[in-house]
């Protein structure tokens, strides 16, 4: 029995394996079914690789955003530290001048 291409694509993996097992030593050969299983495995691997690449890109984008926010937070912290230093110097000057 020859399987049509469309019918082959409609079979589940389990059906392909069952057909392979039935015909593994026949003249029709089992490579026909093995090739289809390999093709499906390659498609699944390609889809998984694409999803991994997409996730990696999303993670890299988020990391870049976090790095940018961290940079601006460091700038703000430095400015507040400078402002605190100036306030401390002014307060010290007033305290010393007030006691004189």
**39-74 pLDDT, tens digit each:** 899 999 999 999 999 999 999 999 999 999 999 999
Could you state, in order of their start, the residue ranges of all structural domains in the chain?
A: 5-99
CB 13 within 8 A of CB 3: no
Report if pTM > 0.85. Answer: no
């Amino acid at each position: 029995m020859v399987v049509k291409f469309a019918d082959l694509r409609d079979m589940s993996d389990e059906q392909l394996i069952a057909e392979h097992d039935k015909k593994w030593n026949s003249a029709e050969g089992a490579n026909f079914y093995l090739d289809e299983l390999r093709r499906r495995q390659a498609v699944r691997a390609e889809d998984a690789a694409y999803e991994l690449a997409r996730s990696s890109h999303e993670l890299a984008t988020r990391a870049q955003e976090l790095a940018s926010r961290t940079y601006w937070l460091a700038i703000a912290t430095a400015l507040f530290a400078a402002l605190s230093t100036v306030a401390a110097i002014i307060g010290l000057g007033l305290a010393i001048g007030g006691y004189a």
